[in-house]
Amino acid sequence: MNRDFTEAADPILLFSEWLAAAGATEPNDPNAMALATVDERGLPDIRMVLLKGHDTHGFVFYTNFESAKGLQIMAHPSAAILFHWKSLRRQVRARGSVTRVTMAEADAYFATRSRGSQIGAWASRQSRPLESRAALEAAAAEVAARYPNDVPRPPHWAGFRLAPVEFEFWQDGENRLHDRVVFRRSGENWQRTLLNP
């Protein structure tokens, strides 16, 4: 395995390189990430979401603000994410503060979604009890009839951006002598530290 990454200076650039490599090797959703939040009792919660953009400002994902994760983030605006690429035997963890994306960003992304996904964003009362599958399908049919052409973005559906203050890159090593490097935000720069496996 290539260990040059332990000398990297920019974790955002390194992440971009690793994500591109995963795009060539992962059979499904190389942009899938586990998102960890905490609820009102301080209990951790975790689920898989899809990364929809990243840059020097952070990692963007979209959701229903009335869902469990949406409510948790709005009450406690910090989170952690984890990418695991089994095909590459690599993982990346990051954590930091979370803010909403702009409405213009949310509108632009929503417009790229399939019509079915747009309808689903209206029909699903995400994370709340569901009477039956038939009730969900009826809600989707009602939304489809209400919007025969363009489907507008629901007011309760938009995105969040996690601005990382810490990254950890991990790569599998022989005899469990893994390579680990952590980057911590220090002003406008990043401080790099090697970790024992």
Residues annotated as catalytic are 176
Closest CA to 55 of 19, 96, 13, 89: 13
User: Using CA atoms, how far apart are residues 108 and 125, in angstroms rounded to an integer?
Assistant: 22
Sequence-separated (6 or more) residues with CB below 8 Å from residue 150? none
189-195 and 32-38 beta bridge pairing: unpaired
Q: CB–CB of 81/93 below 8 Å?
A: yes
Closest CA to 61 of 93, 33, 25: 33
Q: How many CB atoms lie within 10 A of CB 101?
A: 21
Structure tokens at 44: 């951790």
| Backbone angle region of 32, left / alpha / beta, with phi > 0 → left and psi within -120 to 50 → alpha | beta
